[in-house]
A and B are shown apart, each in its own frame.
Chain A
Amino acid sequence: MNAQFNLLNAISEGACITDSQGNIVFWNQRLEYWSGITATALIGKNIFETFDKFNQQHIKMRIDMLKENSVPIVFSAQLHGYFIPCSLPDGSLRIQRTTLSLLDDHEHILITIQDFTEYIRVNTKQKAINIRLKDELQQRQNLEKQQAQLISAMNQAAESIIIVDQSGHIEYINQTFSKETGWSQDDVLNKKTYQSLHAKKGDNFKKQIKATIRSAKAWQGRQKIKRKDGSLFIASISIAPIVIDHESQVQHAVIIQEDISQQLTLEEQYRNIQKREALSTLVGGIAHDFNNLLAGILGNLYLASREVKELPKTAERLKKVQIAANDAADIVKQLMTFSHTEKVEEYDFPLDSFLKEINKVIQHTVPENINFTLDFAHEKYSMHGNADQLQQTIVNIIQNAVDACQKQNNPTIHMRLNIFNPAQHPEICITHPKLRTGEYAHISIQDNGSGIPLTHQDRIFDPFFTTKQMGSGLGLATSLGVIRHHNGVIEVDSKLNQGTSVHIYLPLKSKNIIPNDNPKELLQEVHILLVDDDALVRETCAEMLESLGYKLTLARDGQEAVEVFKEHSEKFHVIIMDMIMPRLGGLEAAHKIRQITSDIPIIFATGYDQSISIKGAKKFENSVLISKPFHPHNLQEIITSFLHQEQ
């Protein structure tokens, strides 16, 4: 029987043949080799009794089905492992795929066994490798993702980030560094050292990087850094060693660099503001006291000079004292302007006529050898404030420009007015955030003069600081006070021997807020009652107002004023009233006039300290108090503002 199956000895698979009862009739050489059991030892034995795994109920059931319907049976390696134990040298058992087929005689069953051990070993190993590779791939992808996030974060950081090796060679720069310095990656990577960007040669910054890496300790400080275009900026720098693990030596350092130039400028500006505030408070206090004293002196001088008309020499001396006291009062006035303690009238005025007026004054201020140009937009804007003070401020600045450039070849002063556009000047808005909102007039006065030395630039707005022999040192201090009082900004940009530009930013009121009146037509309708007991003052003032186009009626004292007003009350638009007069004083006369017309505007004029007269004048609504002598433009502005209020 065996002989007919001998062919199965030639195959690489294990093969066994049983009869329908399971008795082994053939056991091929491969199985002998795998199982270590010879065919002689097995033939005749029952496979179910010899090999337990065949003896399981469900296996026997399937084998019964095979016998019943002859459909071959497959037992997979993974679900069953093995049926015939075949040991390997390492003691493990061969994993087998077992197939049972009914032979054509329907009397014998062929059991074939495929060894899957090696396949499973390789497969298992492959699976382990695959799992490891998958893990490694996942880790690498995670790392790449983290790296991409890190690089993105570093590039979006507001600070420059630089990584250097232990010798200071740059290994990495972020985008902020390139933006801040102009150096690209190609410029710096492995080519130049970070130290070479450090502006000041010969100091120990290079050593500092090496020391940081060597000591593995962080360092912080400030350094000047050179941009690609050669310009410099101050940077706050921190250097930290990159510690990969605690055992390895530090080979790299990370440098965080932040441009703090703007911060330093703001700090400096803040310090200056603080200093000026303190100075302003101090000056204001002193000026106020001096003003009161001077008011007393001037008042008494005025009275004394009336009493000594018979003593010409004494009168002459008193006049000199009065002149000196008036000069002192002027200085005190300027100090009060600087410290914002001076009470000034404020009103709306049109910007273009304001500048035209300045232009007229400047024609007399600027010598002919200086090329003066004025350039301004003819737009109907208006401002609120004191036009006199602003005019004086601009004239002061132009006078400074004249002084600075008149010895230059081709001296030039250029004054320009335009409407400030914050979007075009973000750098100014950073320093002065209030310029971001609202509309501002930008007045710039530029000269090609000698410029201001850097060491003086911080002090030019300090009171009594001057480089001129005859200067009071109050011009720019007063200008600063006036501009600040008007909620404006003043900036000076100067380079030695190249010239100076003064920029003034003043808040504007809405466009066309002042009706486009014809001033002359308006003036012709205005009738003023001028009351003053001093004939010289009365006549001079009348002449001046008439020259401005006003109609005038004169009165010598309060009594006469009341009588005139009673007769023609309807024709007067404004009254200019002296305070101290014989027969009937200004306040008493004003009371009586207001009983006739309750809202007639009254301009109280006084030669005394205003503070003395203020109490009485304050009781009157729709009135102002001004000092003699009058400035024509000032008076005109006040009259105009009263007329606009009436409208």
Chain B
Amino acid sequence: MITLTIEQIDILTEFVNIGIGRAAASLNSMINHHIQLHVPKVCLIQKERISHHFPEDFQDISSVNMQFSGEFDGNAVLIFPKESAAKLVSSLTDEPEDSPAMDELKIGVLNEVGNILINGVMGTISNMLQATLNYSVSDYIEGDLDKLLDIGDQENDSILIAETIFKIHDLNVKGSVALFFHVTSFEALLQLLDKEIAA
């Protein structure tokens, strides 16, 4: 089982924070509301522990998934409780929240939000570590949390989770950016991190 050193956690937290910061700037310039994004903590869990990690309101989720490959492979996933996703979309579009169900238009908005966040985080990580990565176009997944277990190939994948809080007006929406890594890929990431730390 892979564990992170304090230095590794520090540097990853910093990368995620930089990426989220860029994403917030991008979101703020795109819509009329001021959005604050916070990443209180970053942690690493094993894939099979995913349902234990998230609180109960995350059991029914809406998520945006982008696959990446290159020097390390994996999936970057932005996860929201389903009702929170609908609230976030209606806040961003200034439309009344008529139903928690996600239609194609709402999915499009959430996709774009996920795209911006993942773009920020992954772009920062790949830039900082000077890693070349290729990405798929983002897609939308909804259902119970176990659906995320289908992401990736192996059960013992590691997941780097960055809890993210969106603040729009009085609305506080809690989501998570989860980076799913295959074991070998994560080791590659850690090697790059260590190299960066050493530098």
Q: Identify the A interface with B (CB < 8 A).
A: 57-58, 61-62, 65-66, 68-79, 97, 99, 101, 104, 116, 119-120, 123, 127, 130-131
**Partner-contacting stretch, out of B23-31, B49-57, B162-170:** B23-31
User: Do residues A78 and B103 form an inter-chain contact, with CB atoms below 8 A?
Assistant: no
User: How many angstroms between the C-alpha atoms of A598 and B108 in the bound complex?
Assistant: 117
**Partner-contacting stretch, out of B10-18, B115-123, B148-156:** B115-123
User: Do residues A99 and B137 form an inter-chain contact, with CB atoms below 8 A?
Assistant: yes
User: How many angstroms between the C-alpha atoms of A344 and B138 in the bound complex?
Assistant: 112
| Cβ–Cβ < 8 Å partners of A65 in chain B | 22, 26, 119-120, 123
Q: Residue of A at shortest CB range from B27?
A: A58
Contact A120-B105, Cβ < 8 Å, known A70-B133, A74-B137: yes
Q: Residue of A at shortest CB range from B68?
A: A71
Contact A79-B93, Cβ < 8 Å, known A65-B123, A72-B135: yes
Interchain nearest-CB distance for B26 vs A (Å): 6
Q: Does B77 contact A (CB under 8 A)?
A: no
Interchain nearest-CB distance for B113 vs A (Å): 8
| Cβ–Cβ < 8 Å partners of A74 in chain B | 108, 111-112, 115, 137-138
| Cβ–Cβ < 8 Å partners of A75 in chain B | 112
Contact A71-B109, Cβ < 8 Å, known A65-B22, A119-B104: no
Contact A101-B122, Cβ < 8 Å, known A79-B92, A79-B93: no
Contact A71-B122, Cβ < 8 Å, known A61-B26, A62-B26: yes
Q: Which of B30, B105, B112, B138 contacts A116 (CB 8 A)?
A: B105
| Cβ–Cβ < 8 Å partners of B115 in chain A | 71-74
User: How many angstroms between the C-alpha atoms of A68 and B124 in the bound complex?
Assistant: 10
Interchain nearest-CB distance for A121 vs B (Å): 12
Which chain B residues numbered 83 to 135 have a C-beta less than 8 Å away from chain A?
A: 92-93, 98, 103-106, 108-109, 111-112, 115-116, 118-120, 122-124, 126-127, 132-135
Q: Which of B30, B104, B123, B136 contacts A123 (CB 8 A)?
A: B104
| Cβ–Cβ < 8 Å partners of B105 in chain A | 76-78, 116, 119-120, 123
Q: Residue of B at shortest CB range from A62?
A: B26
User: How many angstroms between the C-alpha atoms of A73 and B138 in the bound complex?
Assistant: 9
Q: Residue of B at shortest CB range from A104?
A: B134
User: How many angstroms between the C-alpha atoms of A76 and B122 in the bound complex?
Assistant: 20
| Cβ–Cβ < 8 Å partners of B98 in chain A | 127, 130-131
Q: Does B177 contact A (CB under 8 A)?
A: no
Known: A58-B29, A78-B109, A101-B135. 16 other contacts (CB 8 A): A62-B26, A65-B26, A68-B123, A69-B124, A69-B126, A71-B68, A72-B135, A73-B119, A74-B111, A76-B111, A78-B105, A79-B112, A116-B108, A119-B104, A119-B105, A123-B104
Q: Does B66 contact A (CB under 8 A)?
A: yes
Interchain nearest-CB distance for A15 vs B (Å): 13
| Cβ–Cβ < 8 Å partners of A127 in chain B | 98
5 closest A-B pairs by beta carbon, nearest first, are A69-B123, A58-B29, A76-B108, A76-B112, A71-B119
User: Do residues A97 and B134 form an inter-chain contact, with CB atoms below 8 A?
Assistant: no
17 example contacts (A-B, Cβ-Cβ < 8 A) are as follows A58-B30, A62-B26, A65-B22, A65-B120, A66-B119, A70-B135, A71-B119, A72-B66, A74-B138, A76-B108, A76-B109, A76-B111, A76-B112, A77-B105, A78-B105, A123-B103, A131-B98
Interchain nearest-CB distance for B168 vs A (Å): 14
User: How many angstroms between the C-alpha atoms of A346 and B145 in the bound complex?
Assistant: 95
User: How many angstroms between the C-alpha atoms of A127 and B22 in the bound complex?
Assistant: 35
User: How many angstroms between the C-alpha atoms of A62 and B29 in the bound complex?
Assistant: 10
User: How many angstroms between the C-alpha atoms of A104 and B103 in the bound complex?
Assistant: 32
Which chain B residues numbered 138 to 160 have a C-beta less than 8 Å away from chain A?
A: 138
User: How many angstroms between the C-alpha atoms of A97 and B112 in the bound complex?
Assistant: 10
| Cβ–Cβ < 8 Å partners of B106 in chain A | 78
Q: Which of A58, A97, A104 contacts B26 (CB 8 A)?
A: A58
Interchain nearest-CB distance for A229 vs B (Å): 59
B: contact size bracket: 35 or more
Which chain B residues numbered 22 to 67 have a C-beta less than 8 Å away from chain A?
A: 22, 26, 29-31, 66
User: How many angstroms between the C-alpha atoms of A75 and B98 in the bound complex?
Assistant: 23
User: Do residues B127 and A71 form an inter-chain contact, with CB atoms below 8 A?
Assistant: no
| Cβ–Cβ < 8 Å partners of A120 in chain B | 105
| Cβ–Cβ < 8 Å partners of B108 in chain A | 74, 76-79, 97, 116
| Cβ–Cβ < 8 Å partners of B109 in chain A | 76, 78-79
User: How many angstroms between the C-alpha atoms of A62 and B92 in the bound complex?
Assistant: 18
Q: Which of B29, B104, B133 contacts A61 (CB 8 A)?
A: B29
Q: Residue of A at shortest CB range from B136?
A: A72
Interchain nearest-CB distance for B180 vs A (Å): 16
| Cβ–Cβ < 8 Å partners of A97 in chain B | 108
Interchain nearest-CB distance for A129 vs B (Å): 12
| Cβ–Cβ < 8 Å partners of A58 in chain B | 26, 29-30
Q: Residue of A at shortest CB range from B30?
A: A58
User: How many angstroms between the C-alpha atoms of A101 and B68 in the bound complex?
Assistant: 13
Interchain nearest-CB distance for A399 vs B (Å): 91
Q: Residue of A at shortest CB range from B99?
A: A130
| Cβ–Cβ < 8 Å partners of A57 in chain B | 29
Q: Residue of A at shortest CB range from B113?
A: A76
| Cβ–Cβ < 8 Å partners of B111 in chain A | 74, 76
User: Do residues B138 and A72 form an inter-chain contact, with CB atoms below 8 A?
Assistant: yes
| Cβ–Cβ < 8 Å partners of A69 in chain B | 119, 122-124, 126-127, 133
User: How many angstroms between the C-alpha atoms of A127 and B112 in the bound complex?
Assistant: 23
Q: Residue of B at shortest CB range from A73?
A: B115
| Cβ–Cβ < 8 Å partners of B136 in chain A | 72
| Cβ–Cβ < 8 Å partners of B122 in chain A | 69, 71
User: Do residues A101 and B103 form an inter-chain contact, with CB atoms below 8 A?
Assistant: no
User: Do residues B30 and A72 form an inter-chain contact, with CB atoms below 8 A?
Assistant: no
Greatest chain A CB density within 10 A among B31, B92, B135 is at B135
User: Do residues A72 and B104 form an inter-chain contact, with CB atoms below 8 A?
Assistant: no
Interchain nearest-CB distance for A327 vs B (Å): 102
User: How many angstroms between the C-alpha atoms of A131 and B99 in the bound complex?
Assistant: 11
User: How many angstroms between the C-alpha atoms of A151 and B134 in the bound complex?
Assistant: 70
User: How many angstroms between the C-alpha atoms of A97 and B120 in the bound complex?
Assistant: 20
Q: Residue of A at shortest CB range from B127?
A: A69
Q: Residue of B at shortest CB range from A124?
A: B105
User: Do residues B93 and A78 form an inter-chain contact, with CB atoms below 8 A?
Assistant: yes
Interchain nearest-CB distance for B193 vs A (Å): 17
Q: Residue of A at shortest CB range from B124?
A: A69
User: How many angstroms between the C-alpha atoms of A554 and B179 in the bound complex?
Assistant: 132
User: How many angstroms between the C-alpha atoms of A71 and B135 in the bound complex?
Assistant: 6
Greatest chain A CB density within 10 A among B29, B104, B138 is at B104
User: How many angstroms between the C-alpha atoms of A541 and B119 in the bound complex?
Assistant: 132
Interchain nearest-CB distance for B47 vs A (Å): 23
| Cβ–Cβ < 8 Å partners of A71 in chain B | 66, 68, 115, 118-119, 122-123, 133, 135
Q: Residue of A at shortest CB range from B105?
A: A78
User: How many angstroms between the C-alpha atoms of A62 and B68 in the bound complex?
Assistant: 18
Contact A79-B138, Cβ < 8 Å, known A68-B123, A74-B115: no
Interchain nearest-CB distance for B178 vs A (Å): 16
Interchain nearest-CB distance for B102 vs A (Å): 12
Greatest chain A CB density within 10 A among B66, B109, B120, B132 is at B109
User: Do residues A72 and B137 form an inter-chain contact, with CB atoms below 8 A?
Assistant: yes
User: How many angstroms between the C-alpha atoms of A57 and B26 in the bound complex?
Assistant: 10
Interchain nearest-CB distance for A507 vs B (Å): 74
